[in-house]
Amino acid sequence: MPIRVRSLSCSIFLLLAFVSPALLVAEDWPTFLGPRHNSTSIETGLQAPWPMGGPEILWQRKLGTGYGIGSIADGKFYQFDRHDNQNRMDVLEVTSGHKLWQYEYSTDYEDALGYNNGPRCSPVIDDDLVYIYGAEGELHCVSIKTHQAIWKRNLSEEFNVVPNFFGVGSTPVIFEDKLLVMVGGSPDEFKGLGPYQIGRVSGNGSAIVALDKKTGKTLYKISDELASYASLTLAEIDGRPWCFAFLRGGLLGFDPRDGAIDFHYPWRAKKLESVNASTPVVVGDEVFISECYALGSTLLKVKPGGYEVVWKDEPRSRDHAMETHWNTAVYKDGYLYASSGRHSHQAELRCIEWKTGKIKWAESGLTRSSLLLVEDYLVCLSEYGILRLLKANPEKYEAISEVSLEDEDGNALLEPPAWSAPVLSDGRLFVRGDDRLVCLQVILAK
C-alpha cells in the first residue's frame, strides 16, 4: 500500500530510501504549488507515455468563477470559487468528486479590468484548519471538524489596501504558529484611490502581516511595499528559516520567526499596469525571480543581512533569459523550465541554465503554460486546455504525449483560460479550465 506523506523531513527522506520502488509514495497537496511551494511532486510511477486518448478520467465537476485550483489533505479536495455573490469553498471527496460540505461568505468584488470576479488564491490546509483568502481581501480561518469560521478578518479594509488591478492573488503560507499574509496597505490619506492612482501610493508597514494561525491576532507586520500577485514561499538556508515575498516593487527576504528583514531587492517594470506574479524559486542559498513586462529574470545568492547578484537580464535588452507571467518556473538538476512571454502568441516554453541564465532551448506555439514536475517529466497545461507530458530534458524539447480532454459527446472539458497549475496527489492529477475541474489517473495502482 502507498506511504502517505503530509510533510517532508530528513527522517522521511531516509524512510523513502528503504521503500521498494514498486510502492507508491502518496503525498497531500495542502497549498498552492504543493507542500514545497515549487510545483514538484515526490510521487513515483507516472504513466508515460499516456494512452492514446489520454489518462483515464476518474471524475469531473463544474466549478464556479475563479482562477485558482484546490488543495488536498486527508482524502478531501478543497476548492474555492465564487457562485453569484458568494465566495464558496466546496469540500469534495477526492476519489469521486462528491461534495461533502461547504463554507461560504458574501462578496461584492469587481475586477477593475473586467477579468473574472472570483478568488485567485488556493486554500491553505493546516491540520484541522483551512484558510481562504478572497480577491476582495477577506481572510477566513475555517474549522474542518465543525465547518464553521474560527476567525475572519477583512485585511484590505483594516490596512487600507488601495485596490490594484486584479485583487488579492498571493496565497499565504504557514510557518510554525503563524500565517504569513501579503497585504500591502497604505496610510489613510490614500483612501478612495483606485488602480490607476496606485503609482503615487506609499505603504504603511503592512506589506507582510504575520497572524497567529489559531486566533488571527496580528503578531508583526513589516515593509512599506505594496502587494503583488506572487505567492509567498518558505525555505531553510544554512539552518535558518527564510520567507521570500516577491512584492510589487521587488523581492523581500526576511526571517519568518520575527519579521526581521534581511534585504529588499528592487525588481519591477516602470509600466503602471505591470505586475509581479511568479512565485520565487529557491534552490540551496539562491533565489530566482522573474517578470514579463520589461526586466525579465535575475538570480540572487542570499545570506543573513544581504545578497549578491549571480546574474540578471539587462533591462534594455530584448534578449531575456526568462519572462514568466502568472506561471512559476520549476527546477530540475541545474535547469529551470517555464513558459516565457507576456502574451499568448509570443509565449515560449524554455529551459535555461540555473547558474548562468543561458537559454538551452525554446519551443514556441504552446501558448502560456503551467508546469508540474514529476520524476523526470513535466506535466504541461496550456492556457487553452491542451495537456502535455514532456521529458525534463535540458538538451531539447521532448514531447511524450498530448491530449485535449473531452467528454463522451466530444465537448472540450478544459475551456480557456486554464491558468491554474496542475496538482498531483495519490496518483491523481487535477487540472482546471475556466469552469471545470477534471481528475485523471496518471499513476496506476501498484
Within 8 A by CB and 6+ apart from 281, the residues are 38, 287, 288, 289, 328, 329, 330, 331, 336
Q: Is the confidence at residue 1, as pLDDT, over 70?
A: no
Eight-class DSSP state of 46: B
pLDDT category of residue 3 using cuts at 50, 70 and 90: low
Beta bridge partners of 381: 370, 387
Q: Which residue has the higher pLDDT, 383 or 10?
A: 383
- Distance (Å, rounded) from C-alpha 232 to C-alpha 124? 12
User: Average pLDDT for residues 283-290, to the nearest whole number?
Assistant: 98
Q: Return d(Cα 194, Cα 311) in angstroms, integer.
A: 36
- Of the candidate ranges 2-6, 80-84, 124-128, 349-353, the one whose mean pLDDT is the lowest: 2-6
Answer yes or no: is pLDDT of 8 > 50: no
pLDDT for the residue numbered 17: 38
When comparing pLDDT for 97 and 5, which is higher?
Answer: 97
- pLDDT bin (cut points 50, 70, 90) of residue 113 is confident
Domains and CATH numbers, the chain: 3-441 (2.140.10.10)
Q: CA–CA separation, 297 vs 360, rounded Å?
A: 15
Chain position carrying cell 488579492: 168
Within 13 Å, how many C-alpha atoms sit on residue 103's CB side? 25
Q: Look at 20 and 435; give whichever has higher pLDDT.
A: 435
Instruction: Categorize the per-residue pLDDT at 12 as very low, low, confident or very high, splitting at 50, 70 and 90.
Output: very low
Q: State how far the alpha carbon of 331 is from the alpha carbons of 121, 258, 269, 350, 386, in Å.
A: 23, 29, 25, 12, 22
d(C-alpha 85, C-alpha 69), whole Å: 19
Write down the pLDDT at residue 68: 96
What average pLDDT does the segment 63-76 reach? Answer: 98
What does the alpha-carbon distance between residue 319 and residue 134 come to, in Å, rounded to a whole number? 37
3-state secondary structure of 432: strand
DSSP 53: T
CA distance 163 to 155: 12
What does the pLDDT average to over 109-130?
94
For 387-420, the pLDDT digits (tens) are 999 999 999 999 999 999 999 899 999 999 999 9
Res 179: pLDDT: 98
Is a pLDDT exceeding 80 seen at residue 359? Answer: yes
Percent of the chain beyond pLDDT 90? 90
Has residue 14 got a pLDDT over 70?
Answer: no
Bridge partners, residue 332, by sequence: 335
Which residue type occupies 128? D
Query: In whole numbers, what is the pLDDT of the chain averaged over residues?
Result: 94
Peptide bond into 304 cis (omega under 30): no
pLDDT digits (tens, 9 = 90+) for 243-272: 999 999 999 999 999 999 999 999 999 999
Burial class (CB in 10 A: 0-12, 13-18, 19+), 286: middle
Which of 99 and 319 is assigned the larger pLDDT?
99
15 pLDDT tier (thresholds 50, 70, 90):
very low
User: What confidence score (pLDDT) does residue 302 get?
Assistant: 98
When pLDDT is averaged across residues 262-291 and rounded to a whole number, the result is: 96
Q: Are 302 and 286 in contact (CB under 8 A)?
A: yes
User: What's the pLDDT at 19?
Assistant: 41
Following DSSP, what letter does each residue of 9-34 receive, concatenated? -HHHHHHHHTS-TTS-EEE-B-STTT
The whole-number average pLDDT for the span 18-28 is 62
Which DSSP string do the residues of 358-427 spell out, in sequence order?
Answer: -EEEEEESS-SEEEEEETTEEEEEETTSEEEEEE--TTS-EEEEEEE-B-TTS-BSSPSP--SPPEEETT
- Would you give the distance in Å from CA 163 to the centre of its chain? 21
Neighbours of 409 (CB within 10 A): 5
10 pLDDT more than 50: no
Q: What is the predicted pLDDT for the residue at 315? A: 77
Q: Looking at residues 201-221, what average pLDDT do you find? A: 98
Which burial class, exposed, middle or buried, applies to 71 when counting CB atoms under 10 A from its CB (0-12, 13-18, 19+)?
Answer: buried
